[in-house]
Chains A and B, each alone.
Chain A
């Protein structure tokens, strides 16, 4: 089998194959029609999905804006003796302004922006204060076991020439 024969034979086989393929080629118009129909239905499905996603997003945003307090309260520990509102007082003028509804009872974009900003600031400072307080107040459960009677005497040093009565008055820090 030489190279020339190869090419001729392969070409012939491909030609036979193309003839068979041509016999089962679908009609151009019907193929195109089906394609455009499918494309339209796909587009309508994707539009519907987009609309549903946008609606869900709007509902979530609206819910988080209209009911911001509920989440913050559930986040606070029940035994915390800190008053978050005392630590981070909200900007009163903002809240007053925000509380005033527009004529007609509709919630304006301004009001929403104010509330969002206020809630963000409030939540941030409250959480920070709680965490800081809990860190500084923390003691291990066995901390009391490290204390013993007469512990103060070990932290003091007597000075030469002082009477025994006054010795106890000087601490190690004063001598240094």
Chain B
């Protein structure tokens, strides 16, 4: 694939790529931007080559996922204690972070918090299927696991997310106010 063609493909799926990068970086926009930047450079400089075995989107998502993991590992190695502390505080203060100002409504806050609580694999499976409209087979390819394993993560993730949302009082109250029939909400 030529550079121009690659560039066009990347530009076309840029928003989606950024969304997946956010998912891989625990919704940290700065980190996601950095990861995406590195991925684009890798792809355009030929360091990551598309072999055509999977769809371009699946392949690119796998590259983003790997790059994000590498970057996280490097950061951890660089300043293990500092990073852990800041990550912890970032997770704790996620709702107050200006980056997340867009998620003002209670429901979004609750949803984001619930997603953050989910194990990485389950969160990834849900995001790939629901956010990026990938099939389970494609999600499995991105995650580098078998389809059976991806399905398990997906099902468990769904169950757990539902449970978390139900448990959240804010969410429950919101739903109560919103829905006419409260019984179905429960």
Contact = CB atoms under 8 A, between A and B. Distances in A.
Interface of A: 1, 5-7, 10-11, 13-18, 20-26, 28, 31-32, 34-36, 38-39
B10 A39 contact: no
A10 B102 contact: no
A8 to B, nearest CB: 10
Given A6-B158, A10-B158, A13-B107, A22 B130 contact: no
A163 B40 CA distance: 109
B184 A21 contact: no
Nearest to B107: A13
Interface in B91-108: 99, 102-103, 107-108
Interface string B28-50: 01000100111011001100000
Interface of B: 7, 10-11, 14-15, 18-19, 22, 29, 33, 36-38, 40-41, 44-45, 99, 102-103, 107-108, 111-112, 126-127, 130-131, 158, 161-162, 166, 184-186
Contacts of A32: 7, 10, 37, 40-41, 44
Contact of A35 (B29, B37, B103, B158): B37
Contact of A28 (B10, B99, B108, B126): B10
B105 to A, nearest CB: 9
Contacts of A25: 14-15, 18-19
